[in-house]
Chain A
Amino acid sequence: MSKASPRAHGVPTHRGRGWVHSSHEPSAPTTWTPTTPDSSWVSGPGAAAAFLPAAPRATTGSRQALCLWLPTFELRLELVRSPELDSTSVALLAPGESTRRTIWQVSERAYDAGVRPGQLVSQAVSLCTSLTLLEPDPAHYDAAVDTMLEVLGDITPILEPAGHGRVFLGMDGLGRLFGSPHRQVDRVLRSLFRVFPAPLVAATRAGWAPGKFGAWVAAASAQPGEPVLLFEQNLIRFLARCPVSTLPVDPLVVERLERLDIRTLGALARFPEPSLVAQFGEDGRNALAWSTGRRIDPVRPWHRPRPIRVSLEFAMPVGLTETLHGALDRLVERALSRPARRGRSVTGVRLGAHLEGGGSWFVETVLREPTSVRERIAAPLRAKMAIAPPPKAVVTLLLELTHFGAPSAQTGLFDRKDESGREAGGHELAQGDVPPSLRDAVKELKLRLGDSPLYRVVEIDPWSRIPERRHALLSFDP
């Protein structure tokens, strides 16, 4: 296994003391310190979501979990692209902001100069005049995550990404393939060399434990290149000495626990459940279950439907909102007309852009209800664009239909005239013109019932003063 320096790549990976660890008998952590300048590693993007109770499902998932974690993943990717910045003061700007821009991630030098995540750019620059600010490039980060998942998918099919730079792997049943847990972890880390440069892989932390929480705590306590492995018999003892800030609960709950001088999971585990529930509600119950090792969250196979992607490249970079709105409409139409979308409504959509001079921009929205109507998809994206517009002129506009409603093979009886069903608009049926779908429906009903139970409304005497004389039903059998 690679024994790279924790400070590889010039990015802070471990500040000071850290935990002493060993493979089989993890010794007690002497001090818990944040492993990145951004101490909110527990509440990073997607962090809490990873521990949300999964929907009741059959016994899918893997009890044995491996957590891979690359702190400041996005900044590291940027530094791989721009190695000349490696040993300088660098800060990555937070994505999705247009007016009061803040710092998202900082390099070690910038951290030493007093720059912190969450600070306003003006504050950061006044603290560190030589600070290099980098625009975020979400498209690049997503592509890196996708590539990583693809490679890890060769080792285990049970993968669960949990925010940038962190992924859980289900390791059940891999012993026969790869040998001992050490070998399994080694195999996983080695596979990353196929997609990431060595310094990035060397900075990856790995934790192997029953359940995602144990694996996450183990990974967070690990040093780069030296994975921490926890077994059933050691888990509770290990957890008991972890700080309460490891819990994936509301930060306010953690803050209150610390104020009450409950600083470790062991201290928390001594409290009766009713007291914790009375104080903290569901978070209290969950916190106790994690602290005592009673709650083991299996790694669930992650499924992401293949998105439908369309893009539009402009001859000249475009900054005009009206032009972008027009392009968005065209893109939605093109995406909806793709055969891959047929029979499915859209529930999630993402709009992005490659920007002039590099960098990318994205907004994402979940639609209120599944739809395949252009305006209902475009309108929320326009609203998001108004709140967080592209920071620079757009070279290429990209649209992704990311989530879909349940597929349906049912076709409308009256609104689809042609066999292919590609035309979504309604058709005015000419006299005597019967759509094939309706003809097929009648045929099936006749087979089942003996004769057609469908009727057509016919005019008898439409101008009659007596209502029952005006129309009648005529049996329909084309």
Chain B
Amino acid sequence: MSSERPERHERPRLKPLGQPVVVTVRTDEHGAPTHVRLPGKTARRVETVRERWRIDDEWWREAVSREYLAVVLDDGRVLTLYHDLSEGLWYAQKD
């Protein structure tokens, strides 16, 4: 019997941090988020939008165009969301 250890899957040497997560967002008629549902969680009402900023970058390769919002949920949590303007999806991201 061979005493060699079985080959293990080689782990990636570099792991990204702060990757965005797709979330479901309900918006009002002006496009402002009213409800947010994180994956596997129940939907929470957005109490207020604290801050809003926009990023347009890397136009020289794959253009990044995002509208960021720092929102306060009804349970008091502060969440950073962004709306990807090129693909139309909403994401939550640790800033």
Is residue B5 within 8 Å, beta carbon to beta carbon, of the partner chain? Answer: yes
CA distance A470 to B95 in the complex (A): 10
Cβ < 8 Å to B, chain A residues 432-472: 450-451, 453, 455, 457, 465-468, 470-472
In the assembled complex, how far is the CB of residue B14 from the closest CB belonging to chain A, in whole angstroms?
5
User: Which of B17-25, B37-45, B69-77 forms contacts with chain A?
Assistant: B17-25
Q: Which residues of A contact B34 (CB under 8 A)?
A: none
For B57, the closest partner residue in chain A by CB is A465
For B8, the closest partner residue in chain A by CB is A450
Size band of the interface chain A makes with B: 10 to 19
B64–A475 contact, CB under 8 A? no
For B80, the closest partner residue in chain A by CB is A467
B8–A451 contact, CB under 8 A? yes
A472–B64 contact, CB under 8 A? no
A468–B55 contact, CB under 8 A? no
Q: Which residues of A contact B10 (CB under 8 A)?
A: 451
CA distance A467 to B55 in the complex (A): 11
Q: Which residues of B contact A475 (CB under 8 A)?
A: 11-15
Q: Which residues of A contact B55 (CB under 8 A)?
A: 465-466
Is residue A474 within 8 Å, beta carbon to beta carbon, of the partner chain? Answer: yes
Is residue B94 within 8 Å, beta carbon to beta carbon, of the partner chain? Answer: yes
Q: A450-B5, A450-B8 are in contact. Are A466 and B64 (CB under 8 A)?
A: yes
Q: Which of A467, A468, A471, A475 has the most CB of B within 10 A?
A: A467
Is residue B88 within 8 Å, beta carbon to beta carbon, of the partner chain? Answer: no
Is residue A473 within 8 Å, beta carbon to beta carbon, of the partner chain? Answer: yes
For B66, the closest partner residue in chain A by CB is A466
Is residue B31 within 8 Å, beta carbon to beta carbon, of the partner chain? Answer: no
B11–A468 contact, CB under 8 A? no
CA distance A157 to B62 in the complex (A): 80
Main secondary structure of the interface of B (DSSP, over half): loop
In the assembled complex, how far is the CB of residue A268 from the closest CB belonging to chain B, in whole angstroms?
58
- The contact of A470 among B12, B13, B18, B57, by CB within 8 Å, is B18
CA distance A457 to B18 in the complex (A): 12
- The contact of B93 among A455, A467, A471, A473, by CB within 8 Å, is A467
Size band of the interface chain B makes with A: 20 to 34
In the assembled complex, how far is the CB of residue A462 from the closest CB belonging to chain B, in whole angstroms?
12
In the assembled complex, how far is the CB of residue B27 from the closest CB belonging to chain A, in whole angstroms?
22
Q: Which of A450, A451, A453, A466 has the most CB of B within 10 A?
A: A466
Q: Which residues of A contact B11 (CB under 8 A)?
A: 451, 453, 475
CA distance A466 to B13 in the complex (A): 22
Q: Which residues of B contact A455 (CB under 8 A)?
A: 15
Q: Which residues of A contact B12 (CB under 8 A)?
A: 475
Q: Which residues of B contact A468 (CB under 8 A)?
A: 16-20, 93
Q: Which residues of A contact B64 (CB under 8 A)?
A: 466
In the assembled complex, how far is the CB of residue B95 from the closest CB belonging to chain A, in whole angstroms?
5
For B82, the closest partner residue in chain A by CB is A467
B94–A467 contact, CB under 8 A? yes
In the assembled complex, how far is the CB of residue B62 from the closest CB belonging to chain A, in whole angstroms?
11
CA distance A473 to B15 in the complex (A): 5
B13–A471 contact, CB under 8 A? no
Q: Which residues of B contact A453 (CB under 8 A)?
A: 11
Q: Which residues of B contact A473 (CB under 8 A)?
A: 14-17
In the assembled complex, how far is the CB of residue A473 from the closest CB belonging to chain B, in whole angstroms?
4
Q: Which residues of B contact A450 (CB under 8 A)?
A: 5, 8
In the assembled complex, how far is the CB of residue A12 from the closest CB belonging to chain B, in whole angstroms?
69
For A457, the closest partner residue in chain B by CB is B17
Q: A467-B94, A468-B93 are in contact. Are A474 and B17 (CB under 8 A)?
A: no
In the assembled complex, how far is the CB of residue B93 from the closest CB belonging to chain A, in whole angstroms?
6
For A450, the closest partner residue in chain B by CB is B8
CA distance A159 to B55 in the complex (A): 76
For A464, the closest partner residue in chain B by CB is B57
Q: Which residues of B contact A474 (CB under 8 A)?
A: 13-15
CA distance A62 to B17 in the complex (A): 62
Q: 0/1 per residue, A35-56, Cβ < 8 Å to B?
A: 0000000000000000000000
Q: A453-B11, A471-B18, A473-B14 are in contact. List 12 more A-B contacts (CB 8 A).
A: A450-B5, A467-B18, A467-B95, A468-B16, A468-B17, A468-B19, A471-B17, A473-B16, A474-B14, A475-B13, A475-B14, A475-B15
B contact set with A: CB distance below 8 Å? 5, 8, 10-20, 55, 57-58, 64, 93-95
10 contacts between A and B (CB under 8 A): A453-B11, A468-B18, A470-B18, A472-B15, A472-B17, A473-B16, A473-B17, A474-B13, A475-B13, A475-B15
